[in-house]
Amino acid sequence: MDSASQVAPTSGSELPFLDGVLERVESELKQREQVGFLYFDVVEFSALTENYGADVSQRLLQSLSETLNKQRGKLFRDEDLIAVGGPAVDFFVIYLFSPPRRKESFAKSDLKLISNRVLQKLSYIINETAAKLGVDRKIDLRGGYTVLKYDSNVPVDRLVYEARKEAALKTELEEIMLTFVSNVSHELRTPLTCIKGYAETLLEGALSEPDLALRWMKVIHEEAGRLERLIRDLLDLSMIEAHQVEMHFNEVDLGALCKHTAAVLTPHGKTTGVTIEVDMPDNSPLWRADEDRLSQVITNLVDNAIKYSPANGVVTVKLTFNREQAEIEVVDRGTGIPEDELPRIFERFYRVEKGSAARFGGRGLGLSIAMHIVEAHGGELKVDSKLHEGTRFRVSLPAGDASWLSGIEEE
């Protein structure tokens, strides 16, 4: 039996299961050395099933199956193979047995082009079908691509498993990169436009008016500082995420750290009438931490709390601890955060109040940096908030080696 006849192309909307096509894939790999691999799945499929029922979700998968079968001879060749992950599983795989355009090997650009075209088609069909079935939300699909390369020492099912992980990871990284580039471009554009505009005006003759020139030079200086802070934060975040930042752990007096932060930011709070209170026991523990980095976290949280507090408001820095963990809370009684925004506030560049954040010079990076620093301490950074009532950030730090602790009585 030749390779092409081991799994015949299916008709109608029936697609073979992934496990049932591995012999065909293995045969093609032995013959061709490479097989193109396209991967598609429905994002949050389990939630879709839970909210709208198994019948609706299965009809949506059926529409995807039918659409893929109809693309034979259009977006990919008739002999290429389509498979599903298994019964009631929300992902599909297309195996391309010959490179497009009669090339000798698969090119990344070709696979990406085919993957994007298939994804666009599937996205349109599933959302059109969903609307007819009464689904009142947009359904997102994720696509990915890679190349299966023959390896006699690795079982084909393992090759397929790793290819699926790689394809999904590539897509996720591309999405992150696109978002990152878009956000950075946006953040850089505003200060650069401002600096360029004022500089051009000065060059055109405004330098002859000393008072006006001085005022505009101050604006240029402020915007240059904004650019400098953005670049510093970007480098800081990138280094932390790449685990390239060296942490210096020593015995740190957490009480003194909280008091120092409050003292440093008190003048800033006074500009809007915000008072900073410190609430902690008389005895303060020594904790294993990187003092500079932890100070950076507390400063960021208190600074944000001041910004979003009402005039004559109060920001509280509270320290509690036991032999298992220490917890530093920063509480404000300000605008609060909408519930649907809470899961995203630690994302880079994410701002809850875009206009207000821009007014305060926020870059949407501080909380992301803070979260990574806390996690580097083995701890957690959490948030509770109610709209128009206020926000509470909690930094939890595990005790770790008890030999680092002092100032804590045995229970």
Domain layout of the chain by residue ranges? 3-150, 177-241, 250-404
Buried b (16+ CB within 10 A) or exposed e, 270-308: eeeebebebebeeebbbbbbbbebbbbbbbbbbbbbbbb
Q: Are strands 325-332 and 314-321 parallel, antiparallel or unpaired?
A: antiparallel
- pLDDT given at position 353: 56
Q: Is residue 330 predicted with pLDDT exceeding 70?
A: yes
Encoded amino acid at 282, one letter: D
Q: If phi over 0 gives left and psi between -120 and 50 gives alpha, with beta otherwise, what is residue 53?
A: left
How confident is the model at residue 16, as a pLDDT?
77
Tokens of 10: 């299916």
Beta carbons within 8 Å of 264's beta carbon, 6+ residues apart: 299
Q: Burial level of 12, CB count in 10 A (0-12/13-18/19+)? A: exposed
Closest by alpha carbon to 393, among 312, 354, 341, 337? Answer: 337
Cβ proximity of 67 and 75 under 8 Å:
no
Which class would CATH give 3-150? Answer: alpha beta
Q: Where are the alpha helices (DSSP H) in 289-395?
A: 291-307, 354-360, 366-376
Least confident of 97-106, 126-135, 166-175, 389-398: 166-175
Please write the tens of the pLDDT for every residue from 333-346. Answer: 998 988 888 888 88
> Does the pLDDT value for residue 9 go beyond 60?
no
Cα separation of 76 and 93, whole Å?
13
- Extract the tokens encoding 290: 């990187």
For the chain, give the mean pLDDT: 82
- pLDDT over 60 at 225, yes or no: yes
The CATH number of the structural domain formed by 250-404 is 3.30.565.10
What are the distances in angstroms from CA 346 to CA 129, 182, 358, 372? 35, 18, 17, 9
Q: What is the model's pLDDT at position 124?
A: 93
- Residue 318's pLDDT band, with cuts at 50, 70 and 90, is very high
Q: What are the distances in angstroms from CA 305 to CA 100, 167, 263, 301, 394? A: 56, 41, 15, 6, 13
Domain 177-241 has CATH 3.40.50.1820: no
Q: What's the rounded Cα separation, in Å, for the pair 353 and 130?
A: 32
The answer to whether 139 and 40 have CB atoms below 8 angstroms apart is no
Half-sphere exposure of 266 (CA within 13 A, CB side): 10
pTM (2 d.p.): 0.53
Owner of token pair 């330098």: 207
How confident is the model at residue 90, as a pLDDT?
75
DSSP letters along 114-140, please? HHHHHHHHHHHHHHHHHHHTT--SPPP
pLDDT tens-digit series, residues 295-310: 999 998 999 999 889 9
Report phi then psi at 77, rounded to 5: -75, 160
* Contact (Cβ atoms closer than 8 angstroms) between residue 45 and residue 90: yes
**What is the Cα–Cα distance from 261 to 269, expressed in whole angstroms?**
12
Q: Which two tokens stand for residue 149?
A: 């390369």
Quick one: angle between helices 54-70 and 108-132, nearest 10?
A: 140
Looking at the DSSP assignment, which residues form a beta bridge with residue 92?
A: 40, 84
Residue 193 backbone class (left: φ over 0; alpha: ψ -120 to 50; beta: rest): alpha
Residue type (1 letter), 134? G
